[in-house]
Each structure stands twice: as C-alpha cells, then as structure tokens.
C-alpha cells in the first residue's frame, strides 16, 4: 500500500480533538511584569474605569475589544511598505476597489468613474454612521431605525440625529432553553408589526452581523433574506452593519445546511446580495487596526429613494475626513486593508478563530461560569445576573463593574462591562435608573493575538472570583452616572 492510500484510509484517525493553528507567530512582544497591588493602585487612580487603565500594565489578556486589536499578517506588514501616500488616487485605492467588489459585490463601489460616488472611506465605523444618519436625520424628526441589535455607537449616532433606534432582538436570545445557532436574528414578527404601523417613519432597516449587542450571536441567511424581503416589500432600503461579516458567514456555512458546500466568499456575496447598503468598521473583519467604509448599492432601494443623499455624504466626507480616494485612511492602511480582506474569508482562519472563541467559552461553561450559549464569533459574554445569583448584589450595585475591576487588578485580565451600567441610563431629576434587557461582561478576543493558554488563564481567574462572589463589593458611581455613553467616561469606587 502506498502512503497516500494509507493516509486516505485513516480518515477517522485524522480527526483529533485539537488541531494546530493555521499560522505561526511572526513577531512577538514581551509583557512587562506588575504586581496586583501595583495594578490596583493604578486602577484606583483612574476611578476603576478599565478604559483608562494603561494597556502596558496588562499582564494577562486584554479583552476590552476585538476592534482594531488584531495582529496583522506578514503579508499585511509587507503591504504597508507598498503604501502610497499620494493625496489623490493612491495605489491602494484601486486595490481596495477591486477587493471590495470581489468581497461584497460589484454594485458597491462602481460609480467613482462616473463622478457619482457610492463608496465612502472613513477612518473607522462610527464616522460612517455619523455621515449616514446625519443625512437621514435631515429628512425630518420622528423617524425610527429598527435593527436586530444596534451597536452602542450606532444607536448613539442615530439618536444624536433625533431618530429613534429600536432593537428587535430575536426571542431566542433571551430564551435559555433555545439551542438556536442564530440567536442574533431579527424578530421578523416585530418588524412586520412596526412596518405596518410606522412605515412612513422608517428611512432604513438595519441588521448587525454578527449581533454584537445581542451576545455576539450570528444571524442566519434565512433571516437576512426574510428581513430583506419584508423591507423591500415596502420599497424601503435594507442596510447591514457588516463589522463581523466573515465570522457570520462561517456560522452560516457551519449551521445552515443549504450553505454547507459553499465557500465563505460565496456566502458573503449571497448575504450582501440582499442589502442596499453597508456600514463597516474594518477594525474587525477587515483585519486592520484602523479603517471604515460606507458602501451603497448602485440602483438599490436607498439610491432610488434618496438620490440626492450620496452627494451630501460626499461633501461631508471631503469636509470631515479627506478626499474620496483615501477618506480618513492613510495610503499604507488602505494597502493593509486590501490584504486583510483577502485573508479574512479564508476558511481555515475562520475555523480556528471561532473554534478558539468557542473553546474559551466552553471552558467557562465547564467551570460552571454562566455565559451566553452557544458562544458567538468574537467574544464570550458573561451573564452577570446569573453570576451573582443568590448574593446581595442588586442591579443598581453594578456588579459587572466590580467584577472587571477585581479581574484586572488581581489577575491582570481586562474585560468590559456591557450591561446595566454601559447600556442603562440615569435621570437626575427623577433619580430613576433604567436598566437595559441585557447585563453582560464581555470578553472580546482580539484576532490572531492570543494562544489558548492565555484564554484558559482568564477562565481560571473568573472561576476564582465566581467562587468568592459573595465577597465582591458593590459599586458606587463617583462621576458620570447621568452622562450619555457613560461607561466610557464614568468613575467608580467600591462601596464600604
Ligand atoms: C457592530 C459594530 N458596529 C459599529 C462599530 C463601530 O466601529 P468603530 O469602533 O470602528 O467606530 C462597532 C465597534 O465595535 C461594532 O462592533
């Protein structure tokens, strides 16, 4: 028997419980060492707000965000050197047009030659949102933008323009018994109801892929298609917040039978064939540290309904960011992005990436730590209400903030409260605190940055704190309880 046939016959045996990473380390950075007391002193100095804690002092994992924290590939570092910093029409711009068309569809970046832009580059995701919602906001007050789950900056950019941001989370998201792999779906019954009563107030319907606010859960292609059909039946535009489009496509390939034999790129093309526009922060599935884009389908419902808006967005881009051929990005960043977009649709990469996040979440579950399940694509979400179940911690004690402060000072891991404090609000006049539906601490896993050992050490740290949850002190908000986007700015102290 020759070796090739022997290897073929060993099909079952080749399936091991763990596989090697599909990449190797190209360059590494050694961490400095700090003691828990040194970290605690620093955290006290910054009012227990982990956003202000110096990253250099993080001796564990930095789970604050998966946004802009990716480790770039050697091809991306090489591409940086090919960056062309010309003011107009730099080399990378043409590379990017090509790769955007290949990834999302020909119709999303195909008009600049005719002097009519349908693609706008920005320095990150939120200025794309600002440009779009400022333009829509001018159409009049009382508008509503529904979504399967708006991200916090998206909702803020909508509301700053006096438009109401509405989340139509799927029922499965909060149904503990549900084993759905697509808890990030939109509740289409709620969407139909809303459209029936308020269609005139709705300028656009949004879907976020994956649903970051909704536990990082993906949406199915069936749901994306259904939402598009409903929205289009009212001749309204349908937009996708595409930050984690490739991770969402991997879930579709893995869990939606129909797409099992399709490539990731084919699935991505299918997803975007249903929408009329895209806003994207390339700091996630662009695999770069900076970059964003707003892409509008030529001849789509948005272009038909609002033919004059792209011209206004173009002026906005020129005034606020830069010439349309670089937007808010440097030429070298554009080159790295063009390369990153080619890498992100690699199935081996995605299988490893999502597998790593799943192993991280599963290790939490194995240690009886309550997390949102199934595990999403980019983060593990700890359910804070369950974490403190049976203790004296109340919603207004902001136990998620206590947990992040202790985790960082004791064990050197930085996680992010995205729950009662981040998404809640406080009315100074009535002294009433309003709590959101969800109460999470999010452990976002940066792309290509950590090994499993790093993540398992974080699980051990959370486990140790979970076992001592009765002793975790409550939080007092020292500053900023009434502010908008308060989690970025507030200061805290432990209650005596
Ligand atoms: C779903 C989603 N939309 C929009 C944004 C905003 O992108 P940026 O941070 O680049 O402004 C983020 C950032 O995390 C996000 O997760």
- pLDDT, one tens digit per residue, over 305-319 is 999 999 999 999 999
Residue 213 above 90 pLDDT? no
* pLDDT, the chain, mean: 95
Q: In the beta sheet, which residues pair with residue 46?
A: none
* Candidate from 67, 127, 217, 418 with most ligand 1 atoms within 8 A of CB, to mutate: 67
pLDDT for the residue numbered 262 = 98
pTM of the model: 0.95
Task: State whether residue 79 is helix, strand or coil.
Answer: helix
154 phi, psi to nearest 5 deg? -65, -50
Average pLDDT for residues 39-52, to the nearest whole number? 98
Residue 284 above 90 pLDDT? yes
Ligand 1 centroid to 484 CA: how many Å?
A: 17
* DSSP conformation class of 55: G
Contact 125, 153 (CB under 8 A): yes
pLDDT for the residue numbered 187 = 98
Ligand 1 centroid to 61 CA: how many Å?
A: 21
Ligand 1 pocket, CB under 6 A? 67, 124-126, 151, 153-154, 208, 212, 241, 243, 281, 283, 292
pLDDT > 70 in the chain, percent? 99
Contact 208, 154 (CB under 8 A): yes
Confidence band, pLDDT 50/70/90 cuts, at residue 14: confident
- Distance, in Å, from the CA atom of 67 to the CA atom of 289, rounded to the nearest integer, reads 7
Confidence band, pLDDT 50/70/90 cuts, at residue 110: confident
Average pLDDT for residues 475-493, to the nearest whole number? 96
Residue 72 above 90 pLDDT? yes
Ligand 1 centroid to 17 CA: how many Å?
A: 34
Residue 448 above 80 pLDDT? yes
First-residue to last-residue Cα distance in the chain? 75
Domains and CATH numbers, the chain: 36-59+347-494 (3.90.1150.10), 75-344 (3.40.640.10)
- Residue 204 in tokens: 């656009």
Q: Alpha helix (H) ranges present in 63-203?
A: 74-81, 91-104, 125-137, 152-159, 188-198
Q: Give residue-wise pLDDT tens across range 361-388.
A: 999 999 999 999 999 999 999 999 999 9
pLDDT for the residue numbered 112 = 60
Say if residue 246 is preceded by a cis peptide, omega within 30 of 0: no
Task: Give the atom of ligand 1 at the shortest distance from the alpha carbon of 127.
Answer: 11
Confidence band, pLDDT 50/70/90 cuts, at residue 113: low
pLDDT for the residue numbered 438 = 83
Burial category of 410 from C-beta neighbours within 10 Å (exposed 0-12, middle 13-18, buried 19 and up): middle
Q: How far is CA 90 from CA 82, 325, 340, in A?
A: 11, 7, 18
* DSSP conformation class of 73: P
Contact 373, 357 (CB under 8 A): no
Ligand 1 centroid to 131 CA: how many Å?
A: 14
Residue 200 above 80 pLDDT? yes
């Amino acid at each position: 028997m020759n070796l090739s046939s022997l290897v073929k016959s060993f099909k079952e045996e080749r399936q091991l419980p763990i596989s090697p990473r599909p990449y190797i380390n190209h360059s590494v950075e050694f961490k400095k060492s700090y003691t828990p007391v040194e970290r605690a002193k620093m955290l006290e100095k910054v009012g227990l707000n982990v956003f202000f804690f110096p990253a250099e002092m993080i001796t564990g994992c930095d789970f604050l965000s998966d946004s802009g924290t990716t480790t770039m590939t050697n091809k991306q570092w090489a591409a940086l050197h090919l960056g062309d910093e010309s003011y107009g029409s730099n080399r990378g711009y043409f590379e990017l047009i090509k790769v955007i068309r290949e990834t999302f569809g020909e119709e999303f970046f195909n008009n600049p030659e005719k002097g009519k832009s349908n693609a706008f580059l920005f320095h990150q995701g939120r200025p794309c949102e600002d440009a779009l919602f400022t333009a829509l906001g001018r159409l009049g007050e009382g508008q509503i933008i529904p979504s399967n789950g708006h991200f916090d900056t998206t909702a803020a950019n909508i509301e700053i323009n006096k438009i109401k941001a509405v989340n139509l989370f799927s029922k499965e998201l909060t149904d503990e018994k549900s084993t759905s792999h697509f808890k990030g779906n939109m509740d289409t019954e709620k969407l139909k109801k809303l459209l029936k009563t308020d269609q005139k107030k709705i300028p656009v319907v949004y879907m976020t892929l994956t649903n970051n606010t909704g536990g990082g859960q993906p949406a199915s292609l069936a749901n994306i298609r259904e939402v598009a059909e409903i929205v289009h039946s009212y001749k309204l535009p349908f937009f996708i917040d595409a930050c984690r489009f490739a991770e969402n496509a991997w879930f579709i390939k893995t869990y939606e039978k129909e797409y099992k034999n399709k490539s990731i790129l084919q699935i991505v093309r299918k997803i975007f064939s249903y929408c009329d526009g895209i806003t994207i922060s390339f700091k996630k599935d662009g695999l770069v540290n900076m970059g964003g884009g707003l892409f509008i389908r030529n001849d789509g419902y948005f272009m038909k309904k609002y033919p004059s808006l792209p011209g206004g967005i173009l002026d906005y881009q020129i005034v606020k960011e830069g010439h349309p051929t670089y937007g808010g990005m440097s030429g070298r960043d554009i080159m790295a992005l063009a390369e990153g977009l080619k890498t992100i649709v690699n199935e081996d990469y995605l299988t490893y990436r999502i597998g790593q996040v799943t192993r991280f979440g599963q290790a939490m579950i194995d240690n009886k730590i309550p997390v949102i399940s199934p595990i999403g694509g980019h983060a593990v979400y700890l359910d804070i209400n369950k974490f403190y179940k049976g203790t004296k911690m109340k919603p207004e004690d902001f136990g998620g903030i206590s947990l992040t402060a202790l985790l960082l000072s004791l064990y050197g891991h930085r996680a992010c409260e995205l729950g009662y404090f981040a998404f809640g609000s406080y009315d100074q006049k009535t002294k009433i605190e309003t709590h959101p539906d969800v109460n999470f601490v999010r452990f976002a896993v940066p792309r290509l940055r950590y090994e499993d050992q790093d993540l398992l050490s974080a699980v051990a740290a959370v486990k140790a704190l979970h076992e001592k949850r009765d002793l975790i002190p409550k939080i007092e908000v020292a500053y900023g309880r009434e502010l908008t986007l308060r989690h970025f700015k507030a200061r805290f102290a432990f209650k005596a």
